[in-house]
A = this chain, B = another copy of it.
């Protein structure tokens, strides 16, 4: 397999895929490599509050799927990766946030932004390795935390990304015209 493909091609080829082949497995070494690349993303004040839980167990994934409306991605993907905010990351390392941070009211906003940075690199690295992904914000956080036995005081679920081999190629999502999204001043 060719990796390290031209970046613009990868960014244009990455589309969300919702049904995977259900048989492909991803070795831990490869998953670690994908996540290591993903975690090269910058984070606010370089605090790196995001953690990734790679959920492979078919039994657990079936439980998650049942709890959250039977999303097909959960059972057909090679794995689903839950990105969470580790609240103790901030608590332990930076007890007093600097004054300039007050622009954003909630830690969670910053964590969500940091999560987006990591997750984007993860999805691009995955695509580069021949996998497709599907990012999901709409899942039952409480049910997931319970099934996965997460310390809910510590870990705040933010994003779920299914990864696997697509059955049929993803299609480009509809995008708003760039002129409605940007302006110059």
| Cβ–Cβ contact B100 & A140, under 8 A | yes
The answer to whether A108 has its CB under 8 Å from any CB of chain B is yes
| Cβ–Cβ contact A50 & B181, under 8 A | yes
Q: Give how many A residues have a beta carbon under 8 Å from the other chain's beta carbons.
A: 82
What is the count of identical protomers in the complex?
2
| Cβ–Cβ contact A116 & B124, under 8 A | no
| Cβ–Cβ contact B11 & A181, under 8 A | no
| Cβ–Cβ contact B39 & A139, under 8 A | no
Could you say which residues of chain B place their CB within 8 Å of the CB of A142? 103
Pick from B46, B104, B124, B125: contact of A141, CB below 8 A.
B104
The answer to whether A42 has its CB under 8 Å from any CB of chain B is yes
A13 to B138, CA, bound (A): 33
Shortest beta-carbon distance from A58 to chain B in Å: 12
| Cβ–Cβ contact A181 & B121, under 8 A | no
Could you say which residues of chain B place their CB within 8 Å of the CB of A123? 42
Could you say which residues of chain B place their CB within 8 Å of the CB of A153? none
| Chain B proximity mask over A160-180: 1 for CB below 8 Å, otherwise 0 | 000000000000111110100
Could you say which residues of chain B place their CB within 8 Å of the CB of A148? 185
